Amino acid sequence: MFHLAHISDIHLSPLPGITYRELASKRITGYINWRRNRQGVMTTGALEALMADLKAQAPDHIAITGDLVNLALDLELEAAKLWLETLGDPADVSLVPGNHDAYVPGALDKACRIWEPWMRGDGIDNAGHRVQFPYMRVRQGVALIGVSSARATAPFMASGDLGRGQARRLAKMLDEAAGRGLFRVVMIHHPPVRGAAPAHKRLYGIGRFQKIIGKHGAELVLHGHTHLATRYEIDGPSWKVPVICVPSASQSFGEKRPAARFNLFSIEKQDGTWTCRWTERGVIDSDRVIATIAEHELDVAHASQPATGS
């Protein structure tokens, strides 16, 4: 059995020292938002309690769907690398970037260089160059496919994008994984579902993403961005594909959005048939006690069937 943990929207705190020069950009609005709305809500205490429990569950792999940082300051990117190193070997942690990781022009390139070991596809040597998305890693019969929706946007915008080139590569990877009989997990930061996020935070390319999944299939889509615990479904070739979001990993208890949480997916193939059990664990009180919130069985029996072609 393969145990896959999913976390998102880490928003590591506190913010490092910031210069006036660094604030002379979109970062000024983000800095004000942090001071007014997030400084006391996204906390290291909640994150530390959650991660201690996650590690106690001993997952085989951790999927992180973006927003490790807040303003994509150079010091933040380096601090996030140190935090990633605490999670284990980069081969056991798969990361895709979020909009906060690409907060201003040039930030995403820096983040991808610094965090490259956690976004390196199997058999790929990026040789110091920017990561090409999507990337694919295969672990115990599970294909982890990382898609990037991150991009720098104008002030007061937090939208994402899925371009044609990345969509074409995604289609090929899904077909390759299906041909190998793998359980396909697609990771993306922005929700690839209409209405799941406000217009200024939406993914541009939702139709393109859903068309790819509808034609080529997947077993599970994981995302973040909204800081909510949601489950949607989109059409696969002949089945419904679950699209699951996890709340922020650093959200404190008692606020408008759900407290810090992680999802754990137990994926197994028995007698040629895949099963997937989904467990939600998170902070349940102001003392940061972690407990199981809910458990679900996902219908993934179709994953045992041969691919129908592209």
Q: Looking at residue 310, what is its pLDDT?
A: 39
Q: Looking at residue 302, what is its pLDDT?
A: 79
| Phi then psi dihedrals of residue 168, to 5 deg | -65, -40
Fold of 2-304: Purple Acid Phosphatase; chain A, domain 2 (3.60.21)
Is pLDDT larger for residue 44 or for residue 23?
A: 44
Tens digit of each residue's pLDDT (9 = 90 or more) over 28-77: 566 556 555 665 555 678 999 999 999 999 999 999 999 999 998 899 99
Confidence class for position 13, pLDDT limits 50, 70, 90 = confident
pLDDT at position 307 over 50: no
Greatest Cα pair distance in the chain: 62
Mention every residue, 6+ apart, whose C-beta is less than 8 A from residue 135: 119, 120, 121, 124, 145, 146
Q: Looking at residue 308, what is its pLDDT?
A: 47
- Token duo for residue 189: 């930061």
Q: What is the rounded average pLDDT of the residues 197-202?
A: 95
CB atoms within 10 A of CB 35: 11
Q: Looking at residue 155, what is its pLDDT?
A: 84
CB contact at 8 A, 224 and 232: no
Confidence class for position 309, pLDDT limits 50, 70, 90 = very low
Q: What is the rounded average pLDDT of the residues 165-189?
A: 97
Mean pLDDT taken over the chain: 90
pLDDT at position 184 over 70: yes
- Weakest-pLDDT range from 15-24, 46-55, 115-124, 232-241: 15-24
CA separation, residue 77 to residues 30, 80, 112, 242 (Å):
16, 5, 10, 31
Query: Which of 240, 301, 291 has the alpha carbon at shortest distance from 267?
Result: 301
Query: Which of 222, 227, 226, 289 has the alpha carbon at shortest distance from 258?
Result: 227
Tens digit of each residue's pLDDT (9 = 90 or more) over 245-268: 999 999 999 888 999 999 999 999
Tell me the one-letter amino acid at 310: S
The ranges assigned to domains in the chain are 2-304
3-class secondary structure per residue, 1-27: CEEEEEECCCCCCCCCCCCHHHHCCCH
Tens digit of each residue's pLDDT (9 = 90 or more) over 115-162: 999 999 999 888 767 789 999 999 999 999 999 999 989 888 899 999
Task: Enter the pTM of the model.
Answer: 0.91
Q: Percentage of the chain surpassing pLDDT 70?
A: 88
